[in-house]
Amino acid sequence: MTDQPVAGVALRTIDANNIRMRYAEAGSGPLVLFCHGWPESWYSWRHQLQAVSAAGFRCIAPDMRGYGSTDAPEGSDQYTLFHLVGDMAELVRALGETRAVIVGHDWGAPVAWHAALWRPPRPKFAAVCARSGLYATASPRRADYSPPRRSGVDQGSDLPTRSSPTDP
């Protein structure tokens, strides 16, 4: 891959949170950080990098921990939300910034949400734009709660499930 595989987007590497991270960068101005989903890379944000940077923002889209050319530490215990959020916070610091808008898609969405929840005041994630399937953090259920027992409902949640791709 070249240093500029997409017009106006440069690939760089940086040390952050004890790993070597590759990221794509475009534009200048206030920082917008893009977190990709599974099994993607920075490249899934290429169109947004061009459009948002043209609007006057500094756009950064890293290969998340374990993806693309970012280090992949051994052991599943190295891939918790704490590590992933820490990667984003340390990336912002390593870039010399103190605040960012953070955008997440798919698995990047809970990283973005938790970055805003867990990481004030430095760096400050000033806004979150995240899109994923429905997601809930782990929390104990009330003792008197029991999920509904209906056909077509996954008993682990209250969300309807499809039995085939053609079901409404």
- Residue-wise pLDDT tens digits, 109-148: 889 988 988 876 777 877 777 666 554 555 555 555 555 5
Cβ-proximal residues to 124 (8 Å cutoff; 6+ apart), any chain: 98, 99, 100
User: Token pair of 57, please?
Assistant: 């923002």
Length of the chain: 168
- Residue-wise pLDDT tens digits, 9-42: 999 999 999 999 999 999 999 999 999 998 899 9
Residue 162 pLDDT grade (very low, low, confident, very high; cuts 50, 70, 90): very low
Measured N-to-C along each axis, helices 108-118 and 81-94 cross at an angle, to the nearest 10 degrees, of: 70
43 has pLDDT over 70: yes
User: Token pair of 133, please?
Assistant: 């399937």
